[in-house]
Chains A and B, each alone.
Chain A
Amino acid sequence: MFVTRFLRPILTGLLLIGAGPALAINVERVKTPGGLEAWLVQDNSNPIVTMRFAFRGGAALDPKGKVGLANLVASTMDEGAGNLDSQSFQKTLEDKAIRIRFDAGMDNFGGQLQTLVRNQDKAFDLLRLALNVPRFDAEPLERIRSQILVGLKQDEESPHSIAGKAMREALYGGHPYGRPADGIPESVKAIIADDLRAFVSQRLTRDTLVIGIVGDITPAKLAELLDATFGTLPAQGTDWRLPKIRANTDGRTIVINKDVPQSAILFADQGLLRDDPDFYAAYVMNHVLGGGGFTSRLYGEVREKRGLAYSISSGLNPRRASATTVGGAGTANARVHETLDVVKAEWHRMAENGVTNDELKDAKTYLTGAYPLQFTGSTRIARMLVGIQLAELGIDYVKSRNAFINAVTRDDIARVAKKLLDANRLVTVVVGRPEGLPATR
């Protein structure tokens, strides 16, 4: 199955939920003398340290006219810092097999570091330089800008990217969630080095920072490295909160004509925020409807029975200020109409009748049993540690998570499905040459 650009945030959302049962994973809270907090999972099976961190507030906070700012910062912070110009910085990273990267999501600005234990002092020092004294020299800035602009052009080649853009705009209009995180050509061209510097000083601050580490390192050593790396960042930054907004799901069908043999389809309806008490009911419901694996209703009806698509799935997308349930498929132009009819019928069936006892039982054994599978690599664990902190689920979440899943009842799901799913409200975007499918707008 492939993941489309638009669906990617959904998967990130799901990762949060994948934290859970009685695992031999022990999460320690590390408090540094400098006042930072980090969650650590010690693991000495390999001489590696993996750290993931995030600052609250992401691309959704980009100023109007400079959309794509957070993304441009993320792409240029590792292109020279302190006394090291871009090539010296990159060469040091590569020669020591140190991996440092930054990424700008809609809601958070993230970063990652992975290093061999023997190079850890160097690795954290390079990260310190990138966070505290990035250079943003003209050469790397223009080079990265040209790469982002090319990426934006290439998005216009892909039916799924085009569909994602149309869907964002349909759901959120002028709200920041309606804009692409990597910007539009005009806004990317308008960003100057001072914008990048202002971003770093105002947004990469200690009050919004969360950190998760996995690997062969002691709490004491870690505390020392964290203070040296993050301790000199400003204590406070600008407000990162966004007003809540309801996605505009008004039942539209948007058709974008494109001469391709297979139409890209996206559909979206209401969802639940991560802190909603019914979130777990929605999570289990979505698993039955179109969640991962080869056993969901959508997979069975669209792919197994009718052969309408290779990929078909749905997922929850709980962002900080708005939540949706979204799905996607790729279908031959002649069969788009049929595919959408099946999707809508399943949407309606779930809204009317919820799930059966057997479906609920199977969903629970899958979701709880598969939980340990999310801890099979350092990067995955570090991501989870950060996700749990961002969602404020508590350090015991890894142990308590499966109980939340197990507590979900059929009635909970029926209630949530009725509230969230309405086939008449479903927004649909089709990019291709779908036959016999009228656009409603």
Chain B
Amino acid sequence: MPLFQKIFFAVLLVLTSVPEAQAAVFNPTTFTLKNGMQVVIVENHRVPVVTHMVWYRVGSADEGPGETGIAHFLEHLMFKGTKKRKPGEFSQIVARNGGQENAFTSTDYTAYFQTIATDRLEMVMEMEADRMTNLVITDKEVEPERLVVLEERRSRVDNNPGAILGEHINGALFLNHPYRNPVIGWEHDIKALDIKRIMAFYKRWYAPNNAILVVAGAITAEQVRPLAKKYYGKIPAQPPVVRNRAKEPPQRAARKVVLRDKRVRQPSWRRSFLAPTLQWGDKTHVYPLEVLSNILGGGASSRLYRRLVVENKTAVSSGAYYRGDDRGPGRFVLYASPRGDVTMDALEMAVVAEITDIIKNGITADEVIRAKERMVAEAVYARDSLSGGARALGAALASGLSVDDVESWPDNIAAVTAKQINEAAKALFDNNRSVTGLLLPARES
């Protein structure tokens, strides 16, 4: 059930927060209930179905010392009982009514959703509102679920050398900020979490004034308003919680992380740079960096793919991606995997040559125009799916961004100039603010 999503989700957000040329993207209606709960409605009348989501402004980066994984563990336990309902009853009722549901946890938010026939919306709203404050958990539910989470960790991380390296890269990239910890948590913390701590976390963060309701589908704002009031509006607001996270100090040294594992059959190289986001660092660089990542590593005609994979034949794959939507520090990542017997040194030199070229000669105006057109056009696709808008808006609001940040995305991309990109690139590519990660096969003994 519960998925926690990290990189995937950020990528999704970037893709889905794209709009048609200079038009708004999802055209949502928004209002706020008296208790402070924000409500967002995105209409989409293709089929008589709605997606109902509740987002909490809390993620793994809001966890305290010794409790990594608590946000995600709680997300699993939210599918157990409440004062009103037995464990498992929530899921049974949703299924019996032809609904599908899930939940996910990220560094900056936790979200729960059901997709169901529009005439069943009231029913799931009642149940979702109920579990916002009435969760009941005992050892009988917690202990098997702890084992489930440990299995989830094993399948996502321990069984996958690339994911183990990823954990180490994050640990090295963030010296002090909690993004250094995995969303799913460290194994020893997962094993040590107890009901008292989990319930304290739940009571602290799960409240209407720390939540956002998003409804997308065949429904109007006027239909949602009375229902939202009836079920969520009656829950009393809690004292506001401040998302007080450890801060990242200036970074002054290049770092390198190497994982050798006998399971690895194909080596790979990546370099992650600490990068600004709309809420951290120099935000004027954010949109230029989004365009830069598209030009540098967005697809088969991008600079990295063209040079390394097509022309020089040094790599089987190469690209770049950027997370500029996080609440805390972002990251800009370059990656490549060698072709044939190209050495890791030669591979790194080939990527670095592309970066050096950009720093020295800059991006051309033509490249910028083409990238912007592509990016803005992709936004139309984002409107096609029922959940695309709900997810983009929910993630943005729960991370601390505004509806306008999402809706004006096309304008902001369209306004980017080559000069801005070149300046942003110069500021970004400082190896003293980076971690290089190598995934290698075990040495032959």
Residues of A within 8 A of B (CB): 1-2, 23-25, 43, 45-48, 50, 86-87, 90-91, 94-97, 114, 116, 139, 143, 146-147, 150, 153-154, 156-159, 259-262, 264, 292-295, 300, 303-311, 330-332, 362, 365-373, 375-379
Contact = CB atoms under 8 A, between A and B. Distances in A.
Contacts of A311: 155
A96 B377 contact: yes
Interface stretch (B248-256, B349-357, B382-390): B382-390
B370 interface: yes
B197 to A, nearest CB: 19
B309 interface: yes
A46 B380 contact: yes
Task: Specify which of A150, A156, A158, A308 lies most central, judged by the most chain B CB atoms within 10 Å of its CB.
Answer: A150
Contact of B44 (A45, A96, A147): A45
Q: Is the interface of A mostly helix, strand, loop or mixed?
A: mixed
B255 to A, nearest CB: 25
A48 B384 contact: yes
Nearest to B369: A95
B158 A97 contact: no
B96 A362 contact: yes
Interface of B: 1, 3, 20, 44-49, 79, 87-88, 91-92, 95-101, 115-117, 143-152, 154-155, 158-161, 262-266, 298-301, 306, 309-310, 313, 316-317, 337, 339-340, 370, 373-374, 377-378, 380-381, 383-387
Contact of B159 (A147, A159, A295, A372): A159
Contacts of B160: 158
Contacts, number: 186
A332 B154 contact: yes
A377 to B, nearest CB: 4
Contacts of A365: 96-98
A304 B45 contact: no
Nearest to A330: B155
Contacts of B151: 262, 307-310, 330-332
A317 to B, nearest CB: 21
B330 to A, nearest CB: 24
Given A154-B265, A157-B265, A368-B98, 9 more contacts: A94-B298, A95-B301, A143-B313, A150-B316, A153-B266, A307-B146, A330-B154, A376-B47, A378-B384
Nearest to A376: B386
Most chain A Cβ neighbours within 10 Å, of B115, B161, B381: B381
B361 to A, nearest CB: 20
Nearest to B142: A307
Contacts of A306: 144, 147
Interface centre among A94, A309, A362, A378, by most chain B C-beta atoms within 10 angstroms, is A94
B154 A369 contact: no
Contacts of A23: 47-48
29 contacts: A23-B47, A23-B48, A45-B44, A87-B301, A94-B298, A94-B374, A96-B374, A97-B373, A97-B374, A97-B378, A147-B317, A150-B337, A154-B265, A157-B263, A260-B263, A261-B159, A292-B100, A294-B91, A303-B144, A307-B144, A307-B151, A362-B92, A365-B98, A366-B97, A369-B98, A370-B99, A376-B46, A376-B115, A379-B384
